Structure 1
Amino acid sequence: MSISVNSSDRVCENGIQPVELLPATNDVHGGVIVDMKDAMEAQHFLTLLRASISQWRREGKKGVWIKLPIELVNLVETTVKEGFRYHHAEPHYLMLVYWIPETTNTLPANASHRVGIGAIVVNDKKEMLVVQEKSGRFQGTGVWKIPTGVVDEGEDIFKAAVREVKEETGIDAEFLEVLAFRQSHKTFFEKSDLFFVCMLHPLTFDIEKQELEIEAAKWMPLEEYAAQPVTQTHALFKYILELGSLKLDRDYAGFSPLHITSVFDDKLSFLYLNRQQMQCLSSPDQSS
């Protein structure tokens, strides 16, 4: 969330007596952000909170965000009783929100999706890198699957794919493309899920499986992977095999990352696109 200028922590009530407010910064959407850091008694906090809400209401502010570090857990009940609701939580803080005006609440919801990757890695013998997991839905079923995992906060999709392959199997690999992605809903704690199917090229071949999560890992012929009952009955397994085969044999074009810069803050990010098709369509007609 973008932040602009600091909001005064003292104002004059009726032009006479200064009233202490919570320290806050204005956001670009007409609201304020209170980032609490110092210890405070709940009663004193309540006094400041009520005075602040009154002042912000007069100023026409909209949303109020209060960030409480875990050390200030004593202020959570007070904040909630004043009409604030939970927005999201991280390991070290809780974010609460309040909508001041009597209009439709337009505060953005908490992040709605979790992002995961699956890594198709095939060697020159047309063997796929597969694992059996020690936990999860496929624990003890004998199912061989591609390495999968969750993208960490602040991590790029292509880096997550390379990391997961290395962590689970010890194999170094080069990211090639995103071949497809799946969206599903009501999965992890009611969150939606984005699962990116990625193609990687192996750089090493000697497997060193992860002991904590992986029961077994090996290079499996594509025909053997295809013969698994789960591949024949489970759509995602089936399409993983088909996408990998098309990429190997028919030059199926997926999406590769391109560095771009944000127009707002010059931060670098990645745009995933079909470069092959883009280059073909962008090239001048050679016949003209």
Structure 2
Amino acid sequence: MPISEDLSEVVGRTVSGNGVWHAELLPAINDDHGGVIVEMEEHMDTETFLTMLRTSMLQWKQQGKKGVWIKLPIGLAHLVETAVKTPSTIPANATHRVGVGAIILNDKREVLVVQEKSGILQGTGLWKIPTGVVEEGEDISVAAIREVKEETGIETEFVEVLGFRQSHKTFFEKSDMFFICMLHPLSFDIQKQELEIEAAQWMPFEEYAAQPFAQKHELFRRINELCLAKVDRSYAGFSLQLVSNFSDQPSFLYLNSKDLGKSRSGINP
């Protein structure tokens, strides 16, 4: 919750008739982000909690604290309504989830594919490219390499982002960004992950693309088209370029280096 309580209202509730400040504060410890954490343990009635909360928020505001996190055990559930009545200005949780899919072809024009043990594709017999979710603090290129290694044991190096899809109201009602990456294999002996992967293999691309589901589902068709365009028609995706952001921390800019190079050489207007 924010520290934005009106000071006059707080003072009016916490100063006695003789003007002596006497209200107690809620038990709190500092967190790592300029706020405080309140862990309630002792029984307390609603009115006492409200008084102590208002008094505490006044002091925390004067101290420049940025937010308050209140932890209530089930035995103090009656305090939840009081705690949440104060409008919160703390940003909501993440609005997007970022996923990656990895296209890996070997010299025989075979694509690395898997069958999953869980999820909506479980038991369908569908062969698909390795996919996964980008972890906090992880680059897209690193996530694609990691997911392939975890699911199949295959070592790879990042080549390009071929394209990406944005959708909304998906996983936990969040928006979803899905990046389709092309990777180059550095090893070829598959060692599938037993927990999540039912099967993994190198499959001729034409056989993979001819699967009825892959023909029917537009996203799968588009991914196959991107793959063919990259292999057969010199399609230029987005390669990575190391740059520094405003905080001087390194980051990656994904760009079309092929056409950028043409423009620099004067081939393109």
Range class of TM-score, shorter chain:
0.7 to 0.9
Cα pair 2:167 2:175 within 8 Å, conserved: yes
Q: Identify which of 194, 197, 220 aligns with 2:180.
A: 197
Distance 1:222 1:55, change over 3 A: same
- Give the root-mean-square deviation of aligned CA atoms: 3.5
Aligned 1:3-14 pairs, distance under 5 A: none
Q: Select 1:66's aligned residue among 65, 68, 72.
A: 68
Q: Name the residue aligned to 2:3.
A: none
Shift of 1:109: 2.8
- The residue aligned with 1:4 is none
For the residues of structure 1 that align with 2:215 and 2:199, how far apart are their CA atoms?
22
Q: What amino acid maps onto 2:232 in structure 1?
A: D
> What letter is aligned with 1:241?
N
Report the Cα offset of residue 275 of structure 1. Answer: 2.3
TM-score normalised to structure 1 length? 0.73
Identity of aligned residues (%): 56
Q: CA deviation at 1:221?
A: 0.8
Query: Residues 167, 234 of structure 1: CA spacing in aligned structure 2 closer, same or farther, 3 A cutoff?
Result: same
The Cα shift of 1:269 comes to 2.5
Tell me the CA shift for residue 55 of structure 1: 5.8
Q: Which runs of 5+ in 1 are unaligned?
A: 1-10, 86-97, 100-104
Distance 1:263 1:225, change over 3 A: same
Q: Is the 8 A contact 1:257 1:273 kept in 2?
A: yes
Which amino acid counterpart does residue 35 of structure 1 have in structure 2?
Answer: I
Count of residue pairs brought into register by the alignment: 249
Larger-gyration structure (1/2)? 2
Task: Output the CA distance in 2 between the equivalents of 1:120 and 1:171.
Answer: 12
Q: Deviations over 1:138-180 (max 9, x none)?
A: 2121111001111122222111111111111111011111111
Partner of 1:224: 207
Give the 3-state SS of the residue equivalent to 2:67 in structure 1. strand
Is the CA contact (8 Å cut-off) linking 2:41 and 2:73 kept in structure 1?
A: no
TM-score, normalised via structure 2 length: 0.77
Of structures 1 and 2, the one scoring higher in RCO (CA 8 A, sep 6+) is 2
Aligned AA (1:238): R
1:186 equivalent in alignment to 2:190: no
- Structure that is richer in helix per residue: 2
Q: For residues 45 and 276 of structure 1, do their structure 2 counterparts lie closer, same or farther at Cα, with a shift above 3 Å needed?
A: farther
Deviation of 1:111 (Å): 1.0
Partner of 1:80: 80
Residue 179 of structure 1 contacts residue 243 of structure 1 at CA under 8 Å; is this kept in 2? Answer: yes
Contact 1:132 1:216 in 2 (8 A): yes
Deviation at 1:122, TM superposition (A): 0.6
- What does the per-residue CA deviation read over 1:80-121, in whole Å, with 9 as the maximum and x for residues that have no partner? 322527xxxxxxxxxxxx43xxxxx86533211111111101
- Alpha-carbon distance, 1:286 to partner: 7.4
Structure holding more strand per residue: 1
